[in-house]
Structures are given as C-alpha cells and as structure tokens.
Amino acid sequence: MTKHSIIVKGENYDEALSKGLKKLDLTKDQVRIKITEEKKGFLFKKSYVELKIEPLNLGSDSINNNKLDSEANESVESIDKKTFHFEYRPDGVYLNISNDFKIDINNLLEYINKKHIKDYDLNKIKYCLEEKRGTSYKIAPYQEEFLIDSSLEISVSKDNMEVRIVLTEPSGGKVKSHTEIIEDLNESGIKFGINSSKVEEIINKQIFDNQILVAQGKEPIEGKDGQVICNFNDNLQNKNAIISDDGKIDYKNLDKIRNVNKGDLLIELIPPTEGINGMDVYGNEIAPKKGKEPFVKIGKNVIESEDGLKIYADKDGEVNFIDSKIYVDEVITINGNVDNETGNIKFKGKVNVKGNVKSGFKIEADGNIEIFGVVEGATLISNGSIIIHRGVQGNSQSNIQCVENLITKYLENAKVKCGGDIEADAILHSNIIAEGKVKASGRKALIVGGSIKAGEEISANTIGSSMGTITEIEVGVNPEEKLSYGDLKIEISNIEKNMDSSKKAIELLNKLSKKQKLDKSKQELLSKSLNTYKVLKVKYDKLSKELQELSVRFKEQNNGKIYASKIIHPGVRVVIGNQSKHIYDDISSCILYVKDCDVVNEPFKK
C-alpha cells in the first residue's frame, strides 16, 4: 500500500522527525523532509517545528525538491520536480497539479494556509484535484503573493563535534546567502571547523530541506603509551633449535640463558607523550588522553639511573623479567637434566643442576658448578669450583676444568684439569691434572689406571690394581709449568732451526757480495734474512731464560709426596719432582717421597 506524506509537529526538529518516522514506519533515508513552519518561543508561548515528511516514492508539494545522492561522500545533487504550483494572475490565483502526483486535499490546504491565500474556493480546489490535473484552474480572487524566505535550522551533535543545517526552500522569497548562513552559525556559537565550500555548494545547487554536514570539530590525538625497551632477549621460552645449512638440527646451542655483566644496560624506559588537544565546533579545547606510564618493578641486583629511565645490572648473572619485575640472578638452577631441552649452559654466576648432564653437552660458568646427578661424556668449565654429587661416567669424552677445587663421588674415564684440589672416592682410568692435591677418600679411596698429576701430593687407600694396570702418578711439579716446560723446549728447538737457516743464508750472501755486487733481489733477501735472524735471536734469548728458570724450579720441587694407606700395586709409575720409579712389587701402607735424589718409601702415617 502506497504511503502518503504527513505533517507533524514537535518542540524541536528531532522530536517532530521522530514522531513522523514512527507514524510512517520508515527510516530517515526512506523519506524526504521539509520544514513547513517554525516558531520560536516567546514569554509563555512554546517553540515548535512543523515538518512535512514524504516517502521517497511520492512527489513533493514544493516547487523544487532537492536530495543528496549520498551524504557518505559529502556530494549533493538537486532534483527538480514540478508537482504543483500557484500562479498569481491579475484576475486571480490559479492552481496547477501535475497528473502523476498523488496528494490529498488536506496537504493542499496546509500549503495554501502557509502561503496566506485568502478567499479560496474549496470546491474549486477539489475540482482541480480531481478533474483538472495538468491545467491551471482559478481557486481564489486576485491578491499579492505572500513571500516566504528560506530559513535555517542548526543542529549540533551531542558531543559538539558535528553541525548539520537544514536550509528550507523559499516560496517566492529569498534564499539565504553564504554570508548570512555563516553569520547564523556564528551567532549560534559555531566558531570552529565550518566547511565554507559546503555551505556555498548548498546555495549554488539549491539544496533545500535536507540535513547537510557543514562543520566538524577536530578530534584530540591521544598520547602514545610509554615503552619498556629490553636490551636483552626477552623471548627465550620460544627459542627453537638451530638448523644448520646442511639441514642438521643443533639442540645443544639453544642459548637459553640471558647472561649479563655488571653495568650492562638492561632496560630503557620511554616516557609517554601528552597527546594533542582537539577542539569542538564551539571552539572549546578537548584534552587528549595521556599515554600510560611504563611500569617496571625493581628487583635484586639491579640499579636505576638518576632519572629513573634506565636500569642496569649491578651483578654478573642471568637477567630475568617476569610480571614486570626485573632482577639479576647470580645462581641459575636447572631442575632437570642438561640435555636437548636446555641445550648448553653458559652463565655468569653459579650453576646448579638437579639432574644429570648428558653426553655431548657443555656447562660454562663464571661461578661454581654443582651437579646433583651424574656427569656423562660432557664438558664442565668453571672459574670457581665444581661439585658433582654422584660422579663422572666420562666414556673417554668428558672434559672437566675448574680454577678452584673439584669434589666428586667418582671419576671414571674422565679428563680433568684443576687449579686447586681434587677429591673423589674413586679415580678410574682418568687423565687428571691438579695444581694442588689429589685425594681419593671415602669407602674405596681408590686410584686405578690413567695419569694422575698433582702439584703438592696424591693420597689414596689403594693405588693401581692386582692386575698390574698401568697407572701414572706424578707429584712435586706444577703440572701447568711442566706442560709449559715441554712446550718451551719444542719452541726453542724450532727457533734454533730457523736461526740456523737464516744464518746460513746470510753467510752465503755475504760471501757472494765479496766477489760481485748483489742484484736488487739478493740485496732484499739479505736484508730480510738479517731482520729475521735478529727477531729470532731476541725471542730465543727470552724463551731460553724462561726455560732456565723453570729448570731451576723443577730441581727444587722434590718435596711432593704420595700416600697409600693400604697398598701400591705393580704397574704404577711414580714421578716425584725430577725423580721417577717403577713399582714392580706390592708396597703396603707407605709414603713415597724423594731423598738423596731417589724415590724412597716409609711406613704410612699421616
């Protein structure tokens, strides 16, 4: 069923429009709206607005109706439909209604009253409506046309950020000018964001009786939140194994520990920004939302800069950043095994491992290393001491190094280099070097096979085995110095050979120069040989002096001792200082030491 236009009133534009749309059961984009009358309140009289609301499938009662093709793209287009009009002739007022325009008598009478047409003939109006469509028909005597100027309705959004206007269509009167519309907006308090070109477009294209956006405020720009910039890898939990170029997966070098040094910059805080003020259409500033402050809680072993924007490590160790709290641990604890799950461990502080250390993996620590399980064919390197509660089953692959002491349950098929003392219940088929003492203590207190070197002393209940297992025992000389001594001898020997070659070349070239003048290449060779010999001679003298000092020290270091509280078996070779002795028969409960340039023994007592 076709719906006709209606006239509705309200205290303001929005109220009248709401009533009309509800009555028609239509939405705003389905109708054409025209302000037919508007009264401002005075004293005890109320303001009201009268609207004509027409479904878009009908014609219009205005001479010119205009419509926006789309407010979304802010373009406007006028549509001119001659639906009905009045002609003011010398002999009277004539009405002409188009043939295809559906309108009832009440709509015509409303408009006639608005135009103040007097003494009209109602029957003639009905006759024109029903019988005389498309022709001009006299309905009233001669009279002057009542001119209606266009008016302006201004509506402001609730947030004061948008202004829309409705310019009513004049009837014989004037259209508001651009200047007048701007003045009306200013008088209403609209000072900011007026789109002057849009107002000009409305006037030029005669856009009447439609709400058009003509002013917009400026939204504030919110401040940016502060930032927490980590100068370390803060995403190690998701670290994956490394795949090499040849497609092999390296599960060992996962680098899951975030090592830091004292003084390292850990976190930098970037303050939030204030944002930029906005402005509503009334010219009022709108404060922006300030960015959030970055938040970091300070934990142990870290310090802040004076301005609080930088956080530094106060100790060597592992940095942790959990629940916005930053701290540095000097101890890292592995609750399980060191294996593919953890990868190799490299840490600035102390390392505790509750489980085992699997073959092929490595632990490096600046502090102590403590292993509560078994060490397999793994590598342990510590700048402190190493404690292994269950022992080392090295499979001839383990490599253990520490600057201080090593304490373990047992050592089997292991390679150890220790700057302090070594203590174990049993040492089996291992290559051991200790600058201090090597002590096999406990229930077994056994040393069998391998090579054991200690700077001060070696002690055990039993050394060697009844099977005659070859066991090298050496004390009294710092093992590191002895290794250096051997290396020095080799290096000096090589220098001597090079010096001899240079010397022969020099002698040959000098002999040749006495017979004839040397060409350029031979002169360069002579010069080069002389320089080489000079450099080698300086190095030779320096190393020879070091070798001599070591030799003197070795002669003095014959005070090392070997203690065997139960027995030393055949197959053991003993070296004390620069003296040595092979054991061919069992020696019970004895102490071995050097006396009168010979290795002797006496009954055990300690």
Calpha distance 236→248 (Å, rounded): 21
Residue with tokens 């519309």: 181
For 530-552, what is the mean pLDDT? Answer: 84
Element (H, E) at 374: strand 374-375
For 60-84, what is the mean pLDDT? Answer: 38
Calpha distance 91→461 (Å, rounded): 146
> What is the dotted CATH code of the domain comprising 482-556?
1.20.58
Q: HSE-up of 182 (CA within 13 Å, CB side)?
A: 12
Q: 20-24, 173-177, 297-301: lowest mean pLDDT where?
A: 20-24
**Cβ count within 10 A of residue 324:** 10
Q: Is the four-CA dihedral 8, 10, 14, 18 of positive or negative sign?
A: negative
DSSP 288: P
For 550-572, what is the mean pLDDT? Answer: 81
Q: Is residue 109 left, alpha or beta, with left meaning phi > 0 and alpha meaning psi from -120 to 50?
A: alpha
Q: 288-302, 381-395, 426-440, 552-566: lowest mean pLDDT where?
A: 552-566
pLDDT at residue 79 is higher than 60: no
DSSP 203: H
* pLDDT value, residue 252: 56
pLDDT, tens only, 269-281? 999 999 999 999 9
For 459-480, what is the mean pLDDT? Answer: 88
Q: 13-17, 57-61, 463-467: lowest mean pLDDT where?
A: 57-61
pLDDT, tens only, 124-178? 988 888 888 888 889 999 988 888 888 899 999 999 999 999 998 888 788 899 9
- Helix and strand tally (H, E) in the chain? 7, 45
For 418-428, what is the mean pLDDT? Answer: 94
pLDDT, tens only, 237-246? 444 444 445 5
- Residue extents of the structural domains in the chain: 152-216, 227-329, 331-478+559-603, 482-556
Buried b (16+ CB within 10 A) or exposed e, 234-256: eeeeeeeeeeeeeeeeebbebeb
* pLDDT value, residue 479: 66
Q: The pTM is what?
A: 0.50
Q: 12-21, 461-470, 564-573, 579-588: lowest mean pLDDT where?
A: 12-21
Encoding tokens for residue 317? 């160790």
pLDDT band of residue 557 (cuts 50, 70, 90) is: low
Q: What is the mean pLDDT of the chain?
A: 83
Encoding tokens for residue 299? 């934990």
Identity of the amino acid at 51: L
* pLDDT value, residue 40: 57
User: Are the CB atoms for 424 and 440 separated by under 8 Å?
Assistant: yes
DSSP 418: E
pLDDT at residue 3 is higher than 80: no
pLDDT at residue 255 is higher than 80: no
Q: 72-81, 201-210, 314-323: lowest mean pLDDT where?
A: 72-81
Element (H, E) at 509: helix 479-515
pLDDT at residue 103 is higher than 80: no
Q: Across-strand partners of 446?
A: 426, 462
For 54-58, what is the mean pLDDT? Answer: 62
DSSP 526: H
Identity of the amino acid at 178: H
pLDDT, tens only, 193-202? 999 999 999 9
Q: 5-19, 272-286, 350-364: lowest mean pLDDT where?
A: 5-19
pLDDT band of residue 46 (cuts 50, 70, 90) is: low
pLDDT at residue 89 is higher than 90: no
CB neighbour list of residue 576: distance below 8 Å, 6 or more residues apart = 474, 475, 476, 558, 560, 561, 562, 592, 593, 594, 599
CB neighbour list of residue 305: distance below 8 Å, 6 or more residues apart = 311, 312
pLDDT at residue 61 is higher than 70: no
265 three-state secondary structure: strand
Element (H, E) at 539: helix 520-556
CB neighbour list of residue 254: distance below 8 Å, 6 or more residues apart = 239, 241, 242, 342, 343, 344
User: Are the CB atoms for 313 and 328 separated by under 8 Å?
Assistant: yes
